[in-house]
Amino acid sequence: MVQSKASQPEEVIGSSYDQNKFELLALSENSNLSKTQETCHAETIIVGGGVIGCAIAFELASRGREVLLVEQSEIASGASCAAAGMLAADSEDFAHPLMAKAAHESRELLHKHKEQISALTGMDLGLRRNGFITPFRSYGDLSKYKDRRNTTSGVQQLWWDRSTVQRKALWLNRDTYGAYYRSLESEALPVSLTRAYARSAEMMGARILEGVQDVRLIVDKHGVQGIMTARGEVCCRHIIIAAGLQGEQLMHQVGGTLPSSPVKGEMLAVRFLTDQAGGRPDRTVYAEDVYIVPKANGEVWIGATSLPGRKDHSVSANSVQRLLGAASYWVPGIKEADFVRAWAGIRPSTPDGLPYIGKYEQIPGLYTAYGHFRNGILLSAITGRWIADMLEGKSAEEIGIEALSPDRMNRREVML
């Protein structure tokens, strides 16, 4: 079945997140938010319940901070439910060395969080360290790849020649010239991860509210005062904009210009009914033209297209054909697998390719955490840690992330 919208392309493993568990109107009865007269109070409000907002809620709650997360729809209903869930710290080519370093730290932090979340909630994130293979058709392709690549430092990889590939990856095309094998690379089920962050945050005292429409930021000359929504007002000391692609609109409310543009991606899932004589991949193939990701729910996900400027969630027959063609070249067994579904999601990109993470200096108390483009699942854990460190008083300079500051847009004249 082709889904017209990016709606949860995964079977959630373990207990699911209880939707609509809380009502904003019930805030006054809540014990961990203080109430003054008619207005409720939360120390920090996070706007947006994708993987980034939920990871921040998790980190803040685990440090004992008072947090309210408001989501206009459901937890993990934006880009986070469309992702492949790869934690490709060694395989991605990062434009900035800071992002490569952050990606490695974040991948390892996610493995630590997995233990914490599992002990707290019993939820399974489908997080596994199965390693990635980047295969090449010829020596020429390998040389071009090496010439193009920015990210070389800190990458953990082994070179597998043709006979090693044939021995270690029986399911890969027998004509493969050779491949890089990156053993530390990992992948997770993105909806399960996002929901697990939300659920764990809640168990540590955070409030998570879904279906909260029409959020208006309230700021005055002293800075952040709170939010007004269709269902009531909450005052706070800090607001964190973690609304993915819609972060830009929220910033417009307070006169900020932090542009974000859509890059649509289409994906599909297949399922191998039996092992089909060793045909099912047991590691991710991260090729130049396609990725093939065996998931913990038994499916194999294939992605992804990259269509700048597109915001719709349709999936074209041409894209499905192209992705299946590329995937079945590398993993011939895919031709015999069952087609499960296809979906599309929208990546939030920024003009300089870096996310906006940090304090918005013009408005005391306002922080941004959006624009993670194609690596938001990977960078979720480190983003949570950085934001929590900043709320505790560390500066972007101390953390080493000045390059990500939202104020860079005011310093440079960046146009969309």
Site for ligand FAD, rule CB under 6 A: 47-53, 70-73, 77-80, 82-86, 212, 215, 242-246, 250, 265, 267, 303-304, 345-348, 370, 372-378
User: Least distance from C-beta 342 to ligand FAD, angstroms?
Assistant: 11
The C-alpha atoms of residue 113 and residue 123 are separated, in whole angstroms, by 11
Nearer to ligand FAD, 149 or 252 (CB): 252
**Torsion angle of C-alpha atoms 107, 365, 240, 401, degrees rounded to 10:** -30
Cβ 164 to ligand FAD shortest distance, Å: 26
Contact (Cβ atoms closer than 8 angstroms) between residue 362 and residue 256: yes
How far is 297 from 294, CA to CA, in rounded Å?
9
Angle 330-193-21 from CA coordinates, rounded to 5°: 140
For ligand FAD, which is the closer residue by CB, 142 or 390? 390
- As measured in angstroms, the least distance from the Cβ of 205 to ligand FAD is 21
336-340-343-349 Cα dihedral, nearest 10 degrees: -60
Rounded least distance, CB 336 to ligand FAD, Å: 25
The least CB distance from residue 193 to ligand FAD, in Å, is 10
Cβ at position 358, least distance to ligand FAD in Å? 15
Token pair of 78, please? 């934006």
Residue 7 DSSP one-character state: -
Closest CB to ligand FAD among 73 and 116? 73
- Tokens 């934006």 belong to 78
Residues 6+ apart with CB under 8 A from 284: 86, 130, 131, 132, 133, 185, 187, 291, 292, 293, 294
